[in-house]
Structure 1
Amino acid sequence: MSGWNTKKRFWKDVSVSEQDAGFGVLLDGRSLKTPAKTAVIVPNAKIAEAIAAEWDAQGDQIDPLSMPVMRWANAALDKVALQHAEVADMLADYGGTDLLCYRAVSPEALVARQAEAWDPLLDWAAERYNARLVPVRGVMFQAQDAGALERLRQEVHAFSNFELAAFHDLVSLSGSLILGFAAVEDLKPVTELWNCSRLDELWQEEQWGRDEEAHALAETKKSAFVQARNHFDLCSD
């Protein structure tokens, strides 16, 4: 029973059940399933309890947008679990064109701000993963060291299905593999890392004023970025 094929609440009780492969969520004693009919069996009780809380909080009408943990579980079970290597490779490829490596040519004040915010992150990755990525000015592609990219790729492949589903959002929303790693390793507060990904846009706002529509979209993405970091944290026992 998934509950995704109806808009009305059809259950009364929500519970968590420990099973051989992990923890399941039950609606009126029946196993919860994803939209693809995969049984919702998650790695630990924290994730199961968070999903159960989202279902229990629903009113008469089901609102999938109010269930971010459930949507993350759906992605992990219906998508990542079926193509873990492909998803990992796709995310690792961000390292070859990482946002932090492509710097402005001018003005010098923006160039300096990028260096101040982004160089320490690249230095951290070089030390933490033995993977030095080199920044360049301009948008012309510059190949990074193949060995460094391979070491980062191995780190991505080591994530579990649920970790990788959360990591996917961290990397794709920020445009940076390094910011994704920094987020899951708590290198800086998650909102500070998000602002690093928007450094150019924030600079433009300072110069020309805020575009309210663009700002609203950025705030939505920021919320999703923070949620993804919280989801990754749920993976730890």
Structure 2
Amino acid sequence: MGDGEQVCYRYSDPPGLEQFETALWDPLLLWFTKRYNVQLSSTLGLNLLDIPDDTKRTIQRHLLTYNAWALVGILHAVEALKSVVISLALIDKFVSVEQAVYFSRLECEFQISKWGNVEEAHDMEKTETQARAAAATLFVHMCSETERAQHKLQQPPQ
């Protein structure tokens, strides 16, 4: 987790965006901090965010519980959604694919709510991001389930 976590940065311009981000991202941050027992806060504008080293280590330890193939899927989810927090919420089934993509495109969604949708551009990008996020998440789940199934098969019957 780098210091550029998308859901931690709020912007006051255009007017109303900060309240929009806070209303939608704060519950996600709250879930994340409780789920992983970490500290993560938000900042306004381009102020640098200081993510505690303990938080980074905790998330690193969590990610290391996945096998190498599942980590590839997580990487693709993070690249599609531009956020470790949103990606882990999706992988942990806290949010749906549609919600995750909405959260990752929050500024764009805000602009669409003000100015309208450019169907050929906005819809194509949204659909592509949903497909990429869904595929990555499915891949993570399949790799993780295969690992659990193999582990169960290797245990002697009781």
Tell me how far apart the structure 2 counterparts of residues 229 and 219 of structure 1 sit (CA, whole Å): 15
Tell me how far apart the structure 2 counterparts of residues 173 and 140 of structure 1 sit (CA, whole Å): 24
Choose between structure 1 and 2 for higher RCO, CA contacts under 8 A separated by at least 6 residues.
Answer: 2
- Counterpart of 1:185 in structure 2 is 92
- Aligned with 1:225 (options 133, 149, 158): 133
1:148-187 equivalent positions in 2, closer than 5 A = 148-187=55-94
**Deviations 1:190-215 (Å, cap 9, x if unpaired)?**
21111111111111112222232243
- How many residue pairs align between the two structures? 144
Tell me how far apart the structure 1 counterparts of residues 121 and 101 of structure 2 sit (CA, whole Å): 18
Tell me how far apart the structure 2 counterparts of residues 222 and 189 of structure 1 sit (CA, whole Å): 10
Tell me how far apart the structure 2 counterparts of residues 168 and 181 of structure 1 sit (CA, whole Å): 11
Tell me how far apart the structure 2 counterparts of residues 191 and 231 of structure 1 sit (CA, whole Å): 17
Give the letter for the 1:138 counterpart. G
Unaligned runs of 5+ residues in structure 2 are: 150-158
**Deviations 1:150-185 (Å, cap 9, x if unpaired)?**
211221222111211111111111111111111111
**Deviations 1:73-120 (Å, cap 9, x if unpaired)?**
xxxxxxxxxxxxxxxxxxx33xx2110000111345321221121111
2:66 aligned counterpart, secondary structure: coil
1:222 aligned counterpart, secondary structure: helix
Tell me how far apart the structure 1 counterparts of residues 85 and 92 of structure 2 sit (CA, whole Å): 11
Maintained 8 Å contact 2:21/2:106: yes
- Aligned with 1:215 (options 117, 123, 147): 123
- Aligned with 2:4 (options 97, 109, 112): 97
1:139 aligned counterpart, secondary structure: coil
Larger radius of gyration between Structure 1 and Structure 2: 1
Unaligned runs of 5+ residues in structure 1 are: 1-91
- Counterpart of 2:33 in structure 1 is 126
Backbone CA RMSD of aligned residues? 1.6
Tell me how far apart the structure 2 counterparts of residues 132 and 123 of structure 1 sit (CA, whole Å): 9
Which protein has the bigger helix share? 2
- Aligned with 2:23 (options 116, 119, 124): 116
Q: Percent identity?
A: 21
Maintained 8 Å contact 2:25/2:103: yes
If the length of structure 1 is used for normalisation, what is the TM-score? 0.57
Tell me how far apart the structure 1 counterparts of residues 51 and 110 of structure 2 sit (CA, whole Å): 27
1:17-32 equivalent positions in 2, closer than 5 A = none
Tell me how far apart the structure 1 counterparts of residues 105 and 125 of structure 2 sit (CA, whole Å): 12
- Counterpart of 2:45 in structure 1 is 138
